[in-house]
Structure 1
Amino acid sequence: MRQTERRTAVNTARRSRIRTFLRKVEDAITSGDQAAAAAALKAAQPELMRGVTKGVLHKNTASRKMSRLAHRVKAMGA
């Protein structure tokens, strides 16, 4: 039970950190700054993949999020 509480706290913190990185990308996209959005996406990618290796996110979920964000950042330039 103690271990479950400890792991839950760690996973919650990790998930929150991932969401923060994703929010930074979203904010950069809405502001219209493609360079900032690309930089934020580059910073968010390893964080998402780390979430996968730690078991917080499913691999396909992280890949889907990365793909959709990358598509939106790329569309800003067009």
Structure 2
Amino acid sequence: MPNIKSAIKRVKTNKKANVANSSAKSAMRTAVKKAEQAIASGADNAQELVIQATKALDKAVSKGIIHKNAASRKKSRLAKKLAQAN
């Protein structure tokens, strides 16, 4: 543990940010996974789940959790899977 007051504060804020970022990243991954499973199973709500996954990816980019190109690539692959399923 650091001795300097500002360093102690940074440790606390980093821990808080880590929890928030982990939570947001997990939610994003869950949304993407649900969409992929819906596409694979041919569910009726696959289109809606892809839209939700896209929103989750965009939100992760805006919060700086993932890179914009990574989100773009994931969205593109989801859209491609959806198009092939139909």
Q: Unaligned 5+ residue runs, structure 1?
A: none
Where do residues 49-60 of structure 1 align in structure 2 (5 Å cutoff)?
Answer: 49-60=58-69
Alpha-carbon distance between aligned partners in 1 of 2:39 and 2:56, rounded to the nearest angstrom: 18
- CA deviation after TM superposition for structure 1 residue 16, in Å: 0.3
SS of the residue 2:64 aligns to: coil
Structure with the higher helix share, 1 or 2: 1
Look up the match of 2:38.
Answer: 28
Root-mean-square deviation (Å) = 0.9
* Letter of the 1:59 counterpart: K
Give structure 1 regions of 4+ aligned residues with deviation exceeding 6 angstroms.
none
Count of paired positions: 76
The equivalent of 2:6 in structure 1 is none
Q: Which runs of 5+ in 2 are unaligned?
A: 1-10
Q: Percent same amino acid at aligned positions?
A: 36
Map of 1:12 onto structure 2 = 22
Tell me the TM-score normalised to structure 2 length.
0.84
